[in-house]
Structure 1
């Protein structure tokens, strides 16, 4: 029997079609809301925080606006007021019921920010609090590890980027669901998938690395490996990895390296994989075409999408890898130990 996580991975194309279809007509509304703002503040935790990393790179690389990640404790614990005039605060939460995120968005509004919520929780406190709520159409997600709620969040952030004036072609976004369908089939047909799963089943730790718009994907895959497979997975930009932590990569600690064809950081991504292999360790590539595959020990396919939308699909081979590895390890990926669907961090 397939796991609930695997079923929900397969539901992503249709969830994305619904989400993209419902949100792209709201670009004009976002343009109006953001007209008097000059920078973006993302508020999130967990997988939503990894989505926010994608949002930050998209906003800064394609709209020319400064974007930053919030520290919610400034609002909820230190209770410090900050001048947020001219800021668009974007809170991301799959449930819309994480109290810390709701409180931080309310704080941002009180500090002068315009506010946007990205959530799968229609009628949730977060959706009700925001000036504009971008409701994703993922449907109910039962597995604890986020899959379709994560990718639909990325779709919502892609629409947000367009509303902020990103120099992108929205037709690229419409291609994503079909590309994910193709990628699921191609990944599961790849002989490398079973080989990587078998090799990772014998290690306790792995480094997951990327850079630029793919960096949030590396963080998300690392989080899933920790959540569902109980591996010591470290998600790092390859620039940070080269500043010392690469010392942990050896014959017992492989690297999972993610890349996007056509990206300006692909050359460095492939060079990292080659360095890992040259040091006697294993490097597993995801995406990046023949350049990254040729530098890696084993590789999984990636999406044929431009860099700005590639992260919506690039995460999918990682999701499939995590689900199969968890089952290989005798772990139920649907209900990892110690986790709930909605996490409350407290004050």
Structure 2
């Protein structure tokens, strides 16, 4: 049985900090312009043979975004490297000629620090996207890139995640020298603000009594699904699992019964039609389906006309507001989830 919220969603730190993301991204793009141009020039002059990412939690969801962004827009193979390979197994990997991108809010997790040290030892150049500018991780990087999200006191990372995606987009645009992508990124802060008041009340109402759900995306949108599922577990105490639309029919579909909730994230690219087909199959099985997007098929509206690589930022931003409200409706404090700390120092 749920309890009545003692405060409004707008009063939570999670809501307030997420709402600051647009201003933080605008600040980041301006302050980091020279740093990102320098890194991009170095990568064009000596292209890496691959990109490896290192991250945990929400930052690892940002690394998923980096994979699809770099591979589809730059044609550079991008893979997620497990920190435990170095921190637990003390193994060597061949990263000669690679770019290693570490992503972190705090820049203090011991396993990520060891991974960065090993990456440099094994031949990689290291770029670090970190919110805490005086952190050990920033000091170990060849190319330190501050996220500039500002203080984030809620345990749930929100604006630092969105600033991570913006920093990756900034790097891709400068690396490719892509004016269209530069313009699309410059429009993200306004798109975030436009989406903030979109009506997602049906999602909140529909999940108040839910026990579990699937969150589905594909391609560049998979990161949005992963981040939403993590936040639903973390802030709402709701068992949520993220899947690619290409994978969810294999084993997970067997769990779907009437009224089983499924949240889809879509973007207007080559994955859209197939993702909507999967959503229709879930509806045919009696599932309760929500689709976030900027077109007529969407039941959770977002601004139309977004560049597909910008769509996940806008969708997740609006989702954060819904999650903070849902947490309260379920009798939980989104700022202080049980058993969790702001900084998780994994070894």
Instruction: Give me the TM-score of the superposition, normalised by structure 2.
Output: 0.93
**Contact 2:265–2:292 (CA under 8 A) maintained in structure 1:** yes
CA distance in 2, matches of 1:302, 1:240: 27
Deviation digits for residues 290-317 of structure 1, max 9, x if unmatched? 13x2xxxx43435641012222212112
CA distance in 2, matches of 1:288, 1:66: 29
CA distance in 1, matches of 2:173, 2:116: 22
How many Å apart are 1:49 and its aligned residue? 0.1
Deviation digits for residues 50-108 of structure 1, max 9, x if unmatched? 00100110000011110000011111111111121110000000111111111101110
Say if 2:311 is the partner of 1:310: yes
**Contact 1:48–1:94 (CA under 8 A) maintained in structure 2:** yes
Call closer, same or farther: CA 1:320–1:251 in 2, change over 3 Å.
farther
Instruction: Give me the TM-score of the superposition, normalised by structure 1.
Output: 0.93
Aligned positions of 1:118-267 closer than 5 A: 118-165=129-176, 167=178, 168-185=180-197, 187=198, 190=199, 193-260=200-267, 262-267=268-273
Work out which structure has the larger RCO, using CA pairs closer than 8 Å and 6 or more positions apart in sequence.
2
**Contact 1:120–1:137 (CA under 8 A) maintained in structure 2:** yes
What secondary structure, in the 3-state scheme, does the structure 1 residue paired with 2:52 have? strand
Deviation digits for residues 6-31 of structure 1, max 9, x if unmatched? 11121111111101112233333112
Instruction: Name 1:339's counterpart in structure 2.
Output: 340
Which ranges in structure 2 are unaligned for 5 or more consecutive residues?
Answer: 1-6
CA distance in 2, matches of 1:248, 1:321: 25
Aligned positions of 1:85-100 closer than 5 A: 85-100=96-111
The Cα RMSD (Å) is 1.4
Paired residues in the alignment total 335
Instruction: Name 2:13's counterpart in structure 1.
Output: 4
CA distance in 1, matches of 2:122, 2:303: 42
Say if 2:88 is the partner of 1:77: yes
How many Å apart are 1:150 and its aligned residue? 0.4
CA distance in 2, matches of 1:87, 1:230: 39
Call closer, same or farther: CA 1:224–1:315 in 2, change over 3 Å.
same
**Contact 2:36–2:145 (CA under 8 A) maintained in structure 1:** no
Call closer, same or farther: CA 1:17–1:251 in 2, change over 3 Å.
same
